[in-house]
Amino acid sequence: MLNPRRMPPHRRDGFLLAAACFLIGVTFGVFADSTGLGLGKASALSVLTFTGASQFAAVSVVAGGGTTVAAVGSALLVGARNALYGPVLSPSLRDGPLRRALAAHFVIDETTAVASVQPDAERSRDAFWFTGLWLFVFWNVGTLLGVALGGTFDDPGVLGLDAAFPAAFVALLVPHVRTRPGWTAALGGGAIAVVAVPTTAAGVPMLLAALAVLPGLWIRRSRLAGPGGEDGT
């Protein structure tokens, strides 16, 4: 029986993160069903696209009466950020062409978050594949369940699935706050958000909070430049 407590830390983090994203998969299935997308199309999106933000963007365009071209364009625009993760993960994924092509399908926020904090290439590779495969399972099962549940509720909002997104982002954060640069950036971003949310327009707090990464990067570079290099703590 699968027991997260007996897993190595990098696998446990990946499994728990994948499990947290199950609820977002359910949310997507409910949303897709509410727009009339249907089980087949919703499942195809989850299998072939496999990036939540892009899937929500595409379905939102369709729900608003947009064209297929507009939906695909929106999905590509939102998913373009995943291309930035490639250089981060590439040193740990020096496999053959077939595995690298499959790996490209798994280069998303969650796999990058877990793999990028590992201390060596071997654990980074294992974390990437373990997280990606379990996330693929949880995401697609969640989509199926969401479509099945969506038709049984007049108002899907009663399911309270809007809490899934904050839960998933907290799960993304956990592996990073174990290091000094990570928790410095997290605390700084939280402090900025607390001040900015009631005083600035929507969207601005998120942009301002992103500045908190700078002291984290400074601490990391200082440790790398110091005697003995970086130990990740």
**What confidence score (pLDDT) does residue 50 get?**
93
In eight-state DSSP terms, residue 179 is S
Q: For every residue of 36-59, which 3-state class applies, written as one string?
A: CCHHHHHHHHHHHCCCHHHHHHHH
Which ranges in the chain belong to alpha helices (H)? 9-34, 38-48, 52-63, 68-79, 86-89, 97-105, 109-115, 121-150, 164-173, 180-196, 204-209, 213-225
Q: How many Cβ atoms from other residues are within 10 Å of residue 186's Cβ?
A: 18
Show me where the domains of the chain are located.
4-175, 179-233
Q: b/e map of 66-103 (b: 16 or more CB within 10 Å)?
A: eeeeebeebbeebbeebeebeeebeebbeeeeeeeeeb
Cα–Cα distance list, 178 to 174, 175, 185, 186, 232 (Å): 7, 6, 11, 11, 9
How confident is the model at residue 144, as a pLDDT?
Answer: 95
pLDDT value at residue 46: 95
What was the pLDDT predicted at 157? Answer: 63
**What's the confidence (pLDDT) of residue 57?**
87
pTM confidence score: 0.75
Q: What is residue 49's predicted lDDT score, i.e. its pLDDT?
A: 92
List the pLDDT tens digit at each of the 233 positions of the chain.
677 778 888 899 889 889 888 988 988 998 899 888 889 999 999 999 998 888 988 998 888 888 888 888 888 888 887 888 888 888 888 778 888 888 999 999 889 888 888 888 899 999 999 999 999 999 999 999 999 888 776 566 666 666 666 776 776 777 777 778 888 888 998 899 899 989 988 768 877 887 887 887 788 777 656 655 554 45
What pLDDT was estimated at residue 153?
Answer: 66
At a CB cut-off of 8 Å and minimum separation 6, what does 12 contact?
A: 4, 5
According to the model, what pLDDT value does residue 179 have? 79
